[in-house]
Structure 1
């Protein structure tokens, strides 16, 4: 009797709310101030995520616990490796630590992938990817995914950079465009660089330039990521040309910049004196939260530090159990419906509707 062949069991790296130690296996220079950090899963496990999602790194830096979100630049079609691509931000505690300290062989505690900025299912026939600076990373994951899947989608990829040396993934994207008939890549630079005179489109993205580069943009699904002013400009451009914004998607939180910081004692935005009681049961602390304040902002203003990262309801880092009370929560995909039914909230985007008791 022939021996029965059994397929190996696939074990996913993360369960829903878990944090896992990942080993860095490579650090790659992408530009003069951007590096990619490649991680391997624990033995016998694989990664699973959606293209465009992010990881939350949980780090100890100078004795402080800091969590930051970074989009995944690798595609889910390559489940044995996962990478983030990080720009060094002046004064950014995490990006500078990663650039200066993280090396192959070191381990980092990482929370499960999250975020709703991802390709729709089924795939659309035409996309427009708009990025600036390190905002290219989630769109790179999407592009690599489409290539690996052999998708026949028509992709117009327009990336904005300061100078030619700041173009992220320049060679790889050029190679993809040369090999894939349906993918067209255009880089737009604001200026030349001493090492290279830029001969492509110059300046900032504008209505006229985008219309010239992508004349059929109204037929496309748009994904954009980049600094907040860039995305505001993109939204204005698309509004000016009458684009259907139901076909528009953006990644909206900034990386390596804390969204909220504690207010000084004499600041006008200090602890609320009128509002609802918020009790952190396990800590034995109670604060007052105004009806128009998020629980996170009220806690920070009162000098109470809570775990948080994106500050906009996307990453799930600030997820806690609500023991009593009700909140108005406007999240951006950082919490699942089942978790809400189980009494979980995100403190960064939850405003009290009455007194609260929270399970921390």
Structure 2
């Protein structure tokens, strides 16, 4: 009699995530670990993100976070968050999210992964909490058991604020091919520092990774930081086709330059039907589907609102929209009728599955 092989179950976002661990990483920085209540495992590409629905006061809030764990460790999923001044969602998590609580989640999503850009050599450049996708990708390569070729540069205000420092140094002590370079603005009192000091620039880049021209570059951090990295690499003659960055903010220089004959007309009206909700509203063609939904009291989960994260992807079943996105949706999804509500403007009569 032949034994039956058990079916492997993978988590999807129809099931909530259950918080099982809360680990402080530094000042206002915490790693939250989740598991699927069903016991399903997690399948995603290292570097991808999820969007969490947070039950803050005043209604649910959707926030997008990069996964800091690796798919090579599929029994749990972790995100590492830093509460900035004035943050609402992340501050709620630090103050309220505890083991046993469950959250709705959307994803995983995103294309920022070394899996999509295979290379012999990598250069990971990050600042602050932008280290999270780099941690996921580095852990994935480490767990494969083969020596990678990674130069890992991370910038922080001071050594005590380098997230994952001990874990990365442990990995670097166990394999060849993982070179770490910490760049800090200032040092901690009574703590000797022998690493780099100052702002990341062309000189420091050349010192940390002399063969940077041969490496596939991945960059993540605040927008001014990524702009400085791009300009430094361009000035050094780097092939920018091999440069990749992750951001949940409007890309620098992004515009909606389109021919006048297909651009939304602020004087024209559109009819937008939310088929699943049984609601039809009139709006201007210059209104986005997301804005029209909110005005009608209909909730469409959203994250960045700039067409980057893909959280607000919905199915369009009738009509045409004018959509200018920033990489948050694939051409295959568009061909299948999906749109991003945050950057889609209804033209005439449009029906969506919401």
TM bracket, shorter-chain basis: 0.7 to 0.9
Q: CA deviation at 1:90?
A: 1.7
Q: 1:122 to 1:322 in 2, by over 3 A?
A: closer
Contact 2:285–2:347 (CA under 8 A) maintained in structure 1: no
Contact 1:124–1:153 (CA under 8 A) maintained in structure 2: no
Q: 1:11 to 1:337 in 2, by over 3 A?
A: farther
TM-score by length of 1: 0.86
Q: 1:19 to 1:330 in 2, by over 3 A?
A: farther
- How far, CA to CA, are the matches of 1:120 and 1:87 in structure 2? 26
Q: 1:207 to 1:122 in 2, by over 3 A?
A: closer
Match of 2:259?
Answer: none
Contact 1:287–1:302 (CA under 8 A) maintained in structure 2: no
Match of 1:264?
Answer: none
Match of 1:4?
Answer: 2
Match of 2:189?
Answer: 194
What do residues 136-168 of structure 1 show as CA deviations (whole Å, max 9, x unaligned)? 001100000000012332100000001111101
Mapping of 1:1-360 within 5 angstroms?
Answer: 3-14=1-12, 18-121=13-116, 123-194=118-189, 196-254=191-249, 273-281=266-274, 282-290=278-286, 294-296=288-290, 306-352=300-346, 354=348, 356-360=350-354
Q: 1:8 to 1:275 in 2, by over 3 A?
A: same
- How far, CA to CA, are the matches of 2:294 and 2:116 in structure 1? 39
What do residues 35-60 of structure 1 show as CA deviations (whole Å, max 9, x unaligned)? 10001123341110000000110122
- How far, CA to CA, are the matches of 1:299 and 1:233 in structure 2? 37
Q: CA deviation at 1:175?
A: 1.0
Contact 2:147–2:175 (CA under 8 A) maintained in structure 1: no
1:74 aligned counterpart, secondary structure: coil
User: Which shows bigger deviation, 127-136 or 27-36?
Assistant: 27-36
Q: CA deviation at 1:306?
A: 4.4
What do residues 313-357 of structure 1 show as CA deviations (whole Å, max 9, x unaligned)? 233321223243223434345334453233221022324555534
Contact 2:121–2:149 (CA under 8 A) maintained in structure 1: yes
TM-score by length of 2: 0.87
Runs (4+) of structure 1 exceeding 6 A deviation are 298-305
- How far, CA to CA, are the matches of 2:155 and 2:148 in structure 1? 22
How many positions carry a matched residue from both structures? 337
What do residues 188-234 of structure 1 show as CA deviations (whole Å, max 9, x unaligned)? 00112235343311111001110121110000000010011111111
- How far, CA to CA, are the matches of 1:342 and 1:348 in structure 2? 18
User: Which shows bigger deviation, 132-141 or 204-213?
Assistant: 204-213
Q: 1:197 to 1:23 in 2, by over 3 A?
A: same
Q: Gaps spanning 5+ residues in structure 2: where?
A: 251-264
1:237 aligned counterpart, secondary structure: helix
